[in-house]
Chain A
Amino acid sequence: MNDLLTLMKSELIVTIIIIFLLFTKVASKEWSNESLLNFINFLLLINLVAGFFFQKDGVLFNDMFRTDKLIVLEKNILNLGLLIISLLAHGWLKKHRHMPEFYILLLSTLLGMFFMISAGNLLMFYLGLELSTIPLAALVNFDLEKRQSSEAAMKLIISSAFSSGFLLLGISFIYGTTGSTQFNGIAQHLDGSPLQVFAFILLMAGFAFKISAVPFHLWTADVYEGAPVAITAYLSVISKGAFFFVLVSVLYSVFNPMSETWYRVVLILSVLTMLVGNLFAIRQNNLKRLLAFSSIAQAGFVLVGISGSSVAGTASVVYFILVYIFSNLGAFAVVAVISSQTGKENISDYKGLYAANPFLSCILAISLFSLAGIPPTAGFFGKFFLLIAGAGKGNYIFISIAALNMVLSLYYYLVVVKAVFMDSNESPIEKLTVPVFPKISMIICLSGIVVTGIAGWIYDYIYSLSQ
């Protein structure tokens, strides 16, 4: 019982918050939206802080749930991201009728991811996956008045159902060929026969869909564009990050016997993803859409790191996700503030932003530089370590392609920077007052971007956990 409390603490805390919200929604009415929102943020903060205590390795429910320091860290990273998002979405949520439901759904998806990360069993993995997907579809639709929002939700739910169909087919074949749904049980019975390869590819397609790797990525841009900014951020950072964590552990531990196979799959996916993501991003005008494609390209880079299949691989991926949360959320924070106050989301609207809003511009620019991997921002270190991990396999053509893609990606980030700093605009965005909560989130992201890279011990810590 004591075990249960310590090992599943994150899940339990989140569940408690969910139930609390249910009651506030159903029973009590005296909460004003504003104060409730602040209280929720406070709870999320507690959740984040609590994550760092009582760290313990162990398994529960006969290996359906397992946890260790790395998993706890991953959950904390997700918590952090959630907190930042909830801060940056503050302005939008204040006005929203269904704010508590928003948090209920959001937290349940987070719960799903937690279970998925610490799943020791394909069943738990599948359940966590669905739990983190189905409510998200509802969340994407949370701009109830906007046509695009419901279109995006439709696209998400249908294509994810479709992909989970294939995922299940894959799982069924794995079950059929190995006779187990336990991860370690599967690992023993893998023999790399064609059917298993096929099953793996189906499973991998499910993953690729979630991390939006080419050619399973097509839903991404549309959904990101249609969804509320907060949810776009959530999709692009939290859910993607969670799936990367799972992917790493699944590939490294479960499919270790088929490492050669999955290395090739990852290689192909990675190259395609980087190229296509960048090529599409080049000609975007909607900033959310551009960030969508950029996040696709980033996924390609993460796959490079994963392909390393080493401790360095795990560490670099986790580290990069951390960095990526800061960088991407920094950008989204600016987008959220601007779109919630002016409704403008196009790059052409951002022209001459710096003149009136230097603070927002600098945050945006720094985040974009971090995404592009420019020192001294943390993004540079993230990319560097990913590529080092990938280079461990000695496939330098692959690494060169990745490196050149970094150059390609730099282009569209610089286009945004150019618009913000250099271009002139007859009707620029006027001076905006940034509310306190979004400002806090921006500060967090900024400090994260600056500190995470330079402070070497962070990476070392992650590395030590990954062993």
Chain B
Amino acid sequence: MNEIPLTHILFLSTALFFTGMYGLFTRRNMITMLMSIELMLNSVNINFVSFNKYLYPDKLDGIFFTIFIITIAAAEAAVAIAIIINLYRSHQSIDVEDAGEMKY
């Protein structure tokens, strides 16, 4: 596998990260925004794993970081969805543009 340079993998992860960011910027539906965030987190996972694999195989820091990130992503998603559902109850919509009462 060593003929694949680290930078290529990093290219992938970076691209994925900013794809996610693009989604977050453009999607008006909260759930899709959440998805975009998941993409961002995943790209970070790729970073950690590949760093661990390529550069510091002596310890498993990256691996564990990834594991915990995944866990926390799950928790975050859960709470976020709960909030979104609650918001849907009050606003009858999950469009971010509709949830902008408080401003200035």
Contact = CB atoms under 8 A, between A and B. Distances in A.
Interface of A: 122-123, 126-127, 130, 134-135, 137-138, 141, 144, 146-148, 150-155, 157-158, 161-162, 164-165, 168-169, 171-173, 175-176, 179-181, 221-222, 225-226
Contacts of A151: 87, 91, 99-102
- Across the A-B interface, give the 5 residue pairs with the lowest CB-CB distance, nearest first: A172-B47, A165-B40, A150-B87, A176-B51, A222-B102
Contact of A134 (B56, B76, B89, B96): B76
A94 B72 CA distance: 32
Which one of A127, A147, A157, A225 has the greatest number of beta carbons of chain B within 10 Å? A157
A302 to B, nearest CB: 25
Interface residues of B, number: 42
A123 B48 CA distance: 12
Contact of B83 (A141, A146, A173): A141
Interface of B: 17, 20-21, 24, 30, 33-34, 37, 40-41, 43-44, 47-48, 51, 55-56, 61-62, 64-65, 68-69, 72, 75-76, 79-80, 82-84, 86-87, 89-91, 96, 99-103
B65 A123 contact: yes
28 contacts: A123-B61, A123-B68, A130-B72, A130-B75, A134-B72, A134-B79, A137-B79, A137-B80, A144-B86, A147-B90, A150-B83, A151-B101, A153-B87, A157-B79, A157-B80, A158-B30, A158-B37, A165-B20, A165-B41, A169-B43, A169-B44, A171-B65, A172-B47, A175-B61, A176-B47, A179-B55, A180-B56, A180-B61
B90 A150 contact: yes
Contacts of B99: 151, 154-155
Nearest to A133: B76
B11 to A, nearest CB: 14
A176 B41 contact: no
A7 B62 CA distance: 28
Nearest to A221: B102
Contacts of B69: 168
Contacts of A144: 86
Contacts of A175: 48, 51, 56, 61-62, 65
Contact of A127 (B72, B91, B103): B72
A154 B44 contact: no
A440 to B, nearest CB: 32
A321 B55 CA distance: 41
Contacts of A165: 17, 20-21, 37, 40-41, 44
Contacts of B100: 151
Contacts of A158: 24, 30, 33-34, 37, 80
A347 to B, nearest CB: 15
A22 to B, nearest CB: 17
Contacts of A157: 76, 79-80, 83
